[in-house]
Amino acid sequence: MHELSIAQSMLEVIESNVTENGYTRCTAVTVRAGLLSAVDEEALRFAFETLSEQTAHSGSTLSVERTFPTAKCDCGCSFKVTEMMYACPDCGAVTAALSGGDELEVIKLEVE
């Protein structure tokens, strides 16, 4: 479950930003997670809530913004990939080149 280490890293980013900018706590965090980052949203939410319980950020809400890769098939078709298993909608090939969809980053903090 790599979501536990991701949640720990998120809390480190939060703490660093809160401390550096003179805030007291984070009340909400938004994370961008691409399909290819293989993050389970439920597991990440559970890990974040559990780890943040003993911090000043306890009760912070977590929002996850999902992104998806774009596939470019040899047949010329471009399409958005929304599942880990995919095939070109035009020719059925499973060898399309992917771009994007691997993001994993904190993109927004709401603080007090």
CATH of residue 28's domain is 3.30.2320.50
- Structural domain includes residue 38: yes
Average pLDDT over residues 21-49: 96
- Structural domain includes residue 94: no
> Which pLDDT value is given to residue 1?
61
- Structural domain includes residue 84: no
Give this prediction's pTM.
0.86
- Structural domain includes residue 85: no
Tens-place pLDDT, residues 48-104: 999 999 999 999 999 999 999 999 999 999 999 999 999 999 999 999 999 999 999
- Please give the tally of structural domains in the chain: 1
- The arrangement of strands across the sheet holding 78-80 comes to 78-80, 70-72, 97-99
Average pLDDT over residues 39-43: 96
Does the pLDDT at position 26 exceed 90? Answer: yes
Range of the domain at 30: 3-68+101-111
Distance of CA 39 to CAs 14, 24, 82, Å?
Answer: 19, 29, 14
> Which pLDDT value is given to residue 101?
96
- Structural domain includes residue 88: no
- Structural domain includes residue 21: yes
